[in-house]
Amino acid sequence: MAGILDGKVCIITGAGNGIGKAHALYFASQGAKLVVNDLGGSRDGAGKATKAADEVVEEIKKAGGEAVADYSNVATLDGAQNLVWTALSRFKKVDVLVNNAGILRDKSMLNMTEEEWDLVQAVHLKGTFLCTRAYGRAVKSMNQPGSVVNTTSLSGLLGNFGQANYSAAKAGIYGFTKTVAMEFQKINVRVNAIAPVAITRMTDDLPMFQGASLEDMGPQHISPVVGFLASDLAEGVTGKIIGVQGTKVFEYRMEVTDGIHKDKGAWSAQDIKSKWNDIVK
């Protein structure tokens, strides 16, 4: 039976471990040719090594798939451009980009350093921007359709204590996805995002996962959703933010209350106070 990604060349960033690795193995099982990107650092972004990406590529090849490793830093212009060039030089085209790379530098707001803020913004938000721009320019020049799947987060959409840097970056990816989905329609590229909840090396020590198992909340639940969004099965689907929590799949939407109009003149602070419950219900 043909895979849903047969013949497609797919770039997956941060694919050496966790959710990214699960994406790479699933995409390969569905017939995709992979660029497996991973800088090889720890979960806080420290260090660099080729082992993580190399091992995933080797696993894909042993299973009969095609893949090439890339060790670029997606938070840099050169890294993003090299990442796309790796796909073009090896496979002569690129169809799909999955922006998954990320790091954590959790700290309460008053104790957070500027470096801890900047590093998380660079990898998550700037990296998503740089890679998407490089990919979009390549796809436009080839005049072919494509798909981008970004990675936002429960923290970015609803907030989480101790993650002001991470939640701000992930909230930015939400807005970025909505806007780029509009812009990329003219080059026939769909842009969506997932907000995954899964047990990985990034999250296995979080209280919310106490008592949960990999079988219930592992990355294997996330990748088929990303594969769907990347594939032609999702034709016409763009600008969506899809949550995945174990076997539950759903859409995040911005909520707007009905609000109320003032009969005459501008609102005063006292007017707002008196009508507050009607404004927010």
For 15-38, the pLDDT digits (tens) are 999 999 999 999 999 999 999 999
74: nearest Cα among 151, 141, 144, 142 = 151
Q: Report the CATH superfamily, name and number, of domain 9-256.
A: NAD(P)-binding Rossmann-like Domain (3.40.50.720)
List the chain domain ranges. Answer: 9-256
Count CB atoms within 10 A of the CB of residue 220.
14
pLDDT at 183: 98
pLDDT at 63 over 80: yes
pLDDT digits (tens, 9 = 90+) for 124-143: 999 999 999 999 999 999 99
Q: Which residues pair with residue 196 across a beta bridge?
A: 244
Which pLDDT does position 49 carry in this prediction? 72
Q: Does pLDDT of 226 surpass 80? A: yes
Strands 33-37 and 66-70: parallel
Q: What is the pLDDT confidence band of residue 248, given thresholds at 50, 70 and 90?
A: very high
More confident residue, 5 or 212: 5
Nearest C-alpha neighbor of 172 from the set 157, 192, 184: 157
Which of 37-51, 172-186, 196-210 is predicted most confidently?
Answer: 172-186
Kind of pairing between the strands at 9-12 and 33-37: parallel
* pLDDT of 57 strictly over 90: yes
Statement: residue 79 has pLDDT above 70: yes
- Cβ atoms of 66 and 54 within 8 Å: the answer is no
Options 71, 166, 174, 252, the catalytic residue: 166
List phi, psi (to 5°) of 242: -110, 125
Looking at residue 217, its pLDDT comes to 60
pLDDT tens for 155-177 read 999 999 999 999 999 999 999 99
- Catalytic residue status for 26: no
pLDDT tens, residue by residue, 230-246: 999 999 999 999 999 98
